[in-house]
Structure 1
Amino acid sequence: MIVIKEAVKRFLDVNVLDHVNLTIEDGDKIALMGPNGAGKTTLVRSILGFYHLDSGSIEVDGLSPIKMRQRVLTNISFIPQTPPPIKLSLTELIEYVAKSSQVVPQAIFEEAKRLDLALEQNLSKPFFKLSGGMKQKMLIAIALAKKSKMLIFDEPTANLDPKAREKFYNLLEELDAKTSTIYITHRLEEVESLVNRKIYMDLGKVVEDERV
């Protein structure tokens, strides 16, 4: 699904990605680990087309995430560690997602309910005024309702309480076997039962890539 060849990304003359080579196939469930500054988030943002590489290439289903970004993003859902300051109300956000990603609004409500997020009581609230946990649940509900071929979570449970974490991981266990997932995490123990591959990065390089 994703082929990365000799990917280099520099910031202030530092190779944050240093000739990274990686292939991610359909159905891979990956724990992406490493210290802060290892290049994990930069790699993901390059896959999403947020960053232009200085050299090398990335292809998602044979498409460039820079040149064909809209088509690439139709098949990927990204849940960041820090939710964006979206000013839309939840009603407006659901309508936007429904139109832009062809998601049935009811599917978002159903996923939110499974995460114990009471959407009906908060539809008029701007997204950015929700609590951290509610924002995270909303983004997860949208991602699951979208049924993307790939889900990417950056520290997926950072804003969730223990009960919500348990529900979240139970939902992930129900994903289609062909769905690929990447968990950027410092808590391997939380995702260990969900992954079949561990990738460890340091200083912009992939230093370990193990199938489990």
Structure 2
Amino acid sequence: MLNRITLPVTPFMQNCSLVWCSATNKAALIDPGGETDRLLEAIDERHLTLERIILTHGHLDHVGATGELVEKTGVPVDGPGEADAYWIDGLPQQAQMFGFDPVPGFTPDRWLTPGDTVTVGEETLEVYHCPGHTPGHMVLLHQGQRLSFVGDVLFNGGIGRTDFPGGNHEQLINSIKHTLLPLGDDITFVPGHGPESTFGAERLNNPFLR
């Protein structure tokens, strides 16, 4: 079983997910945007072993703690898609733009591509490419638990911004309607910010998808 808790980090209240395999106690951090010590404490409190970091996309509020976590733990980084390399290369400029303190840079150990899988202990996450918010944005799905981590593609009652460099509104709507929603109405998703929802609820009620 894949266990999880959501840890909102940074002034942007970005939903970092700590996920772990109940059989092995191996864990991953999905989108560790900041507050490195708090994230490591959450892992220690549960007696987990951090196995990897997984990134949905390259924006600072989702990746800001990655460099420091790698320095402290040595774990590999999976994701995002390589089309987001310019965001990760530009972390110093991002920090300036968003008024964050400078963060250590990093290079992902593996760029994710559609159809890839990422393991956490004995659990498997499927990888889907959902560009629009950023060109290399990836979404993760745990089939068995009908659970998805969607970064900033889709929100409870909203959709991701497309006014940053590399954003594309038409592409984003396409990603939601043709990649995410067909996965099933019953899927619960953890967005990059704000409360969880289901694909079914958003298909019916999200004003941006009408």
Instruction: Give the TM-score normalised by structure 1.
Output: 0.33
Structure of larger gyration radius: 1
Q: TM-score, normalised by structure 2?
A: 0.33
Higher relative contact order (CA 8 A, sep 6+): 1
